[in-house]
Amino acid sequence: MQARECGLPEDHWDTYPEKVMGGTAAEVQRVARKCVPLDNVQLIAVGDGSKIAGVLSKYGPVEKYDAEGRRVE
């Protein structure tokens, strides 16, 4: 998706890391609360499921998939 399709300046993604790193934690949280739809957030993590599932479960239900995208138990 192009930045302009989201109503953002053309250089948005080029300057994004610098802007985030230049902001305070409070500023980043303020923008996140405004822009991130918390009712439908999905976190994707890649790694050894036996090592990261416990940490991820703090944030909600954990679903596991194999390298081909098939759900596993």
Residue 70 pLDDT exceeds 90:
yes
Q: Look at the chain and count its residues.
A: 73
Average pLDDT of 53-72?
A: 91
Query: 8-61, pLDDT tens digit by residue?
Result: 898 988 998 998 888 898 998 888 888 888 787 888 899 998 899 999 999 889
DSSP per-residue codes, 15-69: HHHHHHHHS-HHHHHHHHHHHS-GGG------S-HHHHHHHHGGGS---EE-TTS
* Token pair for 37: 């739809």
Every domain of the chain and the residues it spans: 1-37, 42-73
Answering whether pTM is above 0.95, one says no
